[in-house]
């Protein structure tokens, strides 16, 4: 089996993660990097990969089978549409785009052209998340009752030197909460409605710095997500899971799924249940759910190759990713309205 040729368009922090993922995945090869930033040229040299200042030059020179679009969000749709029109498979970073309408437009274009489109909600490829999904779907927790997510961390002041990060084009809801919404949809099932409150009282920027979201799933279960990028805290997936080597790892748990028969905490996959008699007067017993350690970025790149070959359906296609975007965008709407947003 010859390697599929992949172009990388956009070489920021997530671009480096894709390079490392491709290096560890069989059947794919990054054949070029397109990004006008001098740092991207240095990154290309580090990985001994040809560098191009623009994506059209990359396409003309390398003729890739697929491309990763890891540009700023506003460029996701125009570049992806251009790739789809050329018959080139696309792995576009999350969020699929800035608006639900554009997300649907991109998803429909890929479907009509029959060009593979995968959206980079990489946590879906993490074996811890997949194990949790199996626990819920297989009924090993009994009936899911509630979920609690802590996404609390501290972005340094220098992060906000870029003006757009202080505006509503960014903010932790769009940048970070979208991961948690997608995780809950993937593990716990579809979300029927949300309520939310947000605050910008710590930094005072135009965009929120803190949000608390309440969700109700179609199953009847409920969940909460506490999110802030202003706090000195270890309780977040990025710093607890060890998924990204850029973050120092904290030995804590950040996600909790509670059911009528058992409950489990992530990322440890420590599960609690009653061994015999049930009720708060009786002791619980804990056990560790086993899982195979796999780098989710490596698995995502392997999966992208399989999707391109027609061997696997996309774990997250354009329509699925747009559902996550719709719910995430509704968090600000619910906070502004002071009432629930219901999804039909």
Strand positions, DSSP E, the chain: 4-9, 28-34, 51-52, 66-69, 89-93, 117-120, 144-152, 191-199, 210-217, 222-228, 255-259, 262-266, 270-273, 285-288, 341-342
Residue 135 included in any domain:
yes
- 120 strand-pairing partners: 93
Q: Which range (34-38, 195-199, 229-233, 281-285) has the least confidence?
A: 34-38
**Count of structural domains, the chain:** 2
Pair (285, 196) in one structural domain? yes
Q: Quick one: pLDDT at residue 164? A: 83
Pair (243, 307) in one structural domain? no
197 is in which domain, residue-wise? 127-292+326-342
Residue 215 CB partners (closer than 8 Å, separation 6+) = 184, 191, 193, 194, 222, 223, 224, 225
Q: What percent of the chain has pLDDT over 70?
A: 100
Q: Enter the DSSP assignment of 249.
A: P
Pair (85, 157) in one structural domain? no
Residue 319 included in any domain:
no
Q: Where residue 245 falls among pLDDT bands split at 50, 70, 90? A: confident
Q: Quick one: pLDDT at residue 229? A: 97
- 231 strand-pairing partners: none
Instruction: Evaluate whether 92 touches 129 at the Cβ level (below 8 Å).
Output: no
Q: Quick one: pLDDT at residue 1? A: 61
Instruction: Tell me the CATH number at 184.
Output: 3.30.360.10
Closest Cα partner for 47 from 80, 83, 21?
A: 21
Q: Over the stretch 76-88, which tens digit does the pLDDT of each residue have?
A: 999 999 999 999 9
Q: Over the stretch 112-157, which tens digit does the pLDDT of each residue have?
A: 999 999 999 999 999 999 999 999 999 999 999 999 999 999 999 9
Closest Cα partner for 47 from 80, 6, 76, 88?
A: 6
Q: Quick one: pLDDT at residue 81? A: 98
Name the more confident of 37 and 271. 271
- 5 strand-pairing partners: 29
Cα 236 vs. chain centroid, distance in angstroms? 14
């Amino acid at each position: 089996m010859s390697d599929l040729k992949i172009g990388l368009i956009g070489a920021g922090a997530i671009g480096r993660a894709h390079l490392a993922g491709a290096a560890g995945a069989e059947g794919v090869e990054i054949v070029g990097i397109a990004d006008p930033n001098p740092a991207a040229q240095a990154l290309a040299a580090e990985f001994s990969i040809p560098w191009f200042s623009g994506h059209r030059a990359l396409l003309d020179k390398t003729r890739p089978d697929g491309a990763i679009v890891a540009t700023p969000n506003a460029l996701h749709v125009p570049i992806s549409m251009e790739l789809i029109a050329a018959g080139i498979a696309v792995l576009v970073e999350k969020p699929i785009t800035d608006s639900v309408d554009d997300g649907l437009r991109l998803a429909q274009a890929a479907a009509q052209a029959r060009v593979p489109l995968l959206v980079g909600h990489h946590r879906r490829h993490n074996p811890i998340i997949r194990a949790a999904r199996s626990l819920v779907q297989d009924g090993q927790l009994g009936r899911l009752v509630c979920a609690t997510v802590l996404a609390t961390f501290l972005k340094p002041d220098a992060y906000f030197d870029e003006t757009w990060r202080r505006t509503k084009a960014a903010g932790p809801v769009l940048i970070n909460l979208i991961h948690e919404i997608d995780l809950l949809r993937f593990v716990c099932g579809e979300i029927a409605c949300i309520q939310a409150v947000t605050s910008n009282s710590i930094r005072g920027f135009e965009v929120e710095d803190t949000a608390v979201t309440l969700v109700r799933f179609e199953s009847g279960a409920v969940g909460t997500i506490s999110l802030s990028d202003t706090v000195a805290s270890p309780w977040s997936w990025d710093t607890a899971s060890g998924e990204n080597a850029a973050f120092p790892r904290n030995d804590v748990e950040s996600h909790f799924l509670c059911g009528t028969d058992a409950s489990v905490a992530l990322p440890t996959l420590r599960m609690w249940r009653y061994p015999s008699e049930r009720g708060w007067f009786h002791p619980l017993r804990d056990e560790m759910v086993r899982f195979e350690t796999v780098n989710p970025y490596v698995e995502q790149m392997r999966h992208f190759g399989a999707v391109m070959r027609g061997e696997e359906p996309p774990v997250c296609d354009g329509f699925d990713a747009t559902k996550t975007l719709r719910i995430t965008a509704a968090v600000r709407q619910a906070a502004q309205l002071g009432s629930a947003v219901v999804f039909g």
